[in-house]
Structures are given as structure tokens and as C-alpha cells.
Amino acid sequence: MQRIVLHVDMDYFFAAIEEREKPELQGKAVVVCMLSGRSGLSGAVSTCNYVARESGIRAGMSCSKAKKLNPEAVFLPVRKDFYTSVSDRVMQIFRSYADARETGDAFEQISIDEAFLEITEKTGGDFSLAFETGIQIKNEIKDKEKLTCSVGIGPNKLIAKMASSVQKPDGITVISPDKIESFLFPLKVSKLWGIGNVTARKLHEMGIVTVKDLAEHDIINLISAFGKTRGIWLKQAAAGIDDSPVKERGGTEQIGRIATLPEDTLDINPISQLLDRLAEDVISKLDSRGLSFRTVTVTVINSKFRMYTKSRTLNRPAYSKQVLLEVAREILSELLSESQTEFRRVGVRIGQLQKRMGQKSLFDY
């Protein structure tokens, strides 16, 4: 039976929710910002609607720059908890359309506003039925949440993900196996899902500009340049081959806090003080749920709004503030040693959460 995967992506999710809640915003440029709290528009753009994008506003740029690009735009603060509550309802709708399996491995949420669904069994491998399913999903989201989404349909996650971007917003695109080559080959290699800027630059240096170039390139040469695993993946991805399963992501829940420093700095003292307060909040949330953690991640955003992160995985679960701070401070020291640009925001996050087992170990002390 032909495999069929859907990728469903909510359109400009945060800004769309704000438009829904405030009808007077319709037709206006809406920009949702992560505000630092220092001054009125001190912070970075989280997302914006398509009217705002026509002005050149993009996620990640400073809110002050966005204001210069479009002084008439409406700037709103991120309401993460509210958006998450909407996301939970949306994901339940998506999940209801996925194949029903004993393993439960037919639905995979990959962010707050997008997910993969495998519908091979429900459609019998028929792409025309898959298209009808995509339309049903879009209609239900519009009816129940008054929001739009874009749907990509393909024989695997790679193709489905790339197809969902073809007709945004509020579109649906089907790429059946016989259309893969004509869909992928004309694209710039940087458009292939999973290829970042560094890899794209290296491929360009090798004379590989389009996906077709990559598909026809000698695999031995790719392995020599990128290593066996990555080289083989590049060759297969260019041909539209992707056997990765649609699978519920286990152990991905995290607890984190991020905040803005009083002023941009590379001074370890004020940065450490803020890190201590954030760690205390994180541990408090962890304690309230009786959980332990195994990964620690520190995130910094510098004065140029560039984000850097480093993580550590512990040998065993822990749940003390002392352990968290010890690891976080080590990571912070590394980030400071590698940066010449002052830090603006700092955050700490813990992951691989699990229920605590027994009493504290010596490691926790």
C-alpha cells in the first residue's frame, strides 16, 4: 500500500489568533513581539501576518526595526499560554484524522503550530482521498477555531513538509510519487528541508546549486565532504526518499525560563544573578510536578538578536537546584568565552523530564 503523510501548518498562528480575538485588526499589519520589558518596543518579532510581511517585517528582527518598516503596524506582546491553549485544541483535531494504530505512532506534533499525520490506512494509499481528508481538516479548523492552515500531502514526511509551504496561506498541495522529481529538482538546494545555511554554502562551493544537482552528484564525493551518514542522507533527500516514521515524540517536554538583562553586558556577575533567579523558577515548577531532569540547556540572545544555545546531558536524572546551577554556569562560561557581543537575554531550560524515583542520590547533593 502506498504510504501517505500529511503535514499541517497553521498560518501565522500567533498573529492569526490575535486577529480572531480582535476583529478590528483585520486588514492591518499585525506584529506579535517578544518584548524585553525595558521600553515600549524593546524586543524581537515572534511572528507577523502577511500584511506585515509585505513591508519586509520578518520573525527575529528587532521590533524597533519593524516599526521603522511599517509605522502603522499594530504591535502586540506574545501571549504564549493563550496560544498554547488554542494549539492543544487544534492538535486534538489533527490527531483525530490520523490512522488508528495500537502503537499510536501516526501523529507527530513538531511545534506549537504544526504536525505530521500518517493517513495511509484511512485512505488506502489513495491520494485523491488524502486530498479530501486535507480539505476536511481545513474546514474543521475554520469552523471550530476560525483559523486557517496549509496542508502538504506526500509519500513521506520530507515531501509533505515541503509541500505545505507551496500555497501559503490557506492552501493545500499534493505531491504524489510520480510528481516528486518535477517538484524537487528545480528548487534551490537551500530549500530542501533539513539543509541549513552552512550546508547550503558548502554545497554551493562544490557547484551544487539545485536539488537536481545534488541528486545527480557522486555519492562518494558527498560522503567525503559531509561524512557517511550525512552524505547518504543528502543523496536520498534530493531524490525525495525519506523513511522516517511519523511518531509521537516522547520525552520532549521541557520547562524553561528566559528573561532580559537590565542592560546589555558580558559581565558574568549580573548574568549569573539572573541565571540563578531563572533556575529557581524552573526548579519550583519541577518540584510542583514531582519530576526530575536529565538535560540542561542555556540560551543567550545577544545585542544583535542572534541566538546561541548549548546543552548538557547528565549521566542520571537529577532534581536539585544545585545540580542545575552547576551545569548551567559551566555552559554560561563557555558561551561567554566564545562571544564578543554583549548578551541581551539569557534563559535556562531542562528536558528529558520524568517522574522521580525514590530518594535523592548523592549526585543530587
Burial of 105 per CB tally in 10 Å (0-12, 13-18, 19+):
middle
Instruction: Give residue-wise pLDDT tens across range 39-63.
Output: 667 788 989 999 999 999 998 888 9
DSSP code of residue 327: H
DSSP 3-state assignment of 67?
helix
Residues of the chain with pLDDT under 70: 36-40, 101-105, 249-253, 357-365
Neighbour count for residue 334 (Cβ, 10 Å): 14
Q: Which domains does the chain have, with CATH numbers?
A: 5-12+82-180 (3.30.70.270), 14-78 (3.40.1170.60), 185-238 (1.10.150.20), 255-364 (3.30.1490.100)
The pLDDT tens digits for 102-133 are 555 689 888 889 999 999 999 999 999 999 99
Coil, strand or helix: which one is 131? helix
Is residue 91 within 8 Å of residue 111, measured between CB atoms?
A: no
Contact by Cβ (8 Å): 356, 290:
yes
The x, y and z cell numbers of residue 222, run together, are 558527498
Concatenated DSSP letters of 182-230: HHHTTSBGGGSTT--HHHHHHHHHTT--BHHHHHHS-HHHHHHHH-HHH
- Please report the pLDDT score of residue 360 as a whole number: 45
pLDDT at residue 259 in the model: 87
pLDDT score for 362: 38
Confidence at residue 358, expressed as pLDDT on a 0 to 100 scale: 54
47 CB neighbour count, 10 Å cutoff: 24
CB 18 within 8 A of CB 76: yes
Q: How does DSSP assign 3-58, residue by residue?
A: --EEEEEETTHHHHHHHHH-GGGTTS-EEEEEE-SSSTT-EEEEEE-HHHHTTT--
Catalytic residue positions, numbered = 114
What gap in Å lies between CA 91 and CA 147, rounded to an integer? 13
Grid coordinates representing 102 are 495500537
Please report the sign of the dihedral spanned by the C-alpha atoms of residue 230, residue 231, residue 234, residue 240: negative
Q: What is the pLDDT of residue 359?
A: 45
pTM, rounded to two decimals: 0.71
Phi, psi of 175 (to 5 degrees): -120, 100
Question: Which spans in the chain are helix H?
Answer: 13-21, 50-53, 63-69, 80-97, 120-123, 127-145, 157-163, 180-184, 197-205, 211-216, 219-226, 228-238, 268-288, 321-338
**Contact 117/5 with Cβ under 8 angstroms?**
yes
Radius of gyration of the chain, Cα coordinates, nearest whole angstrom: 23
Q: CB pairs under 8 A, 24+ apart, for 184-192?
A: 184/159, 184/211, 184/212, 184/215, 184/238, 184/239, 184/240, 185/210, 185/211, 185/212, 185/215, 186/210, 186/211, 186/212, 187/211, 189/213, 189/214, 189/238, 191/162, 192/162, 192/237, 192/238
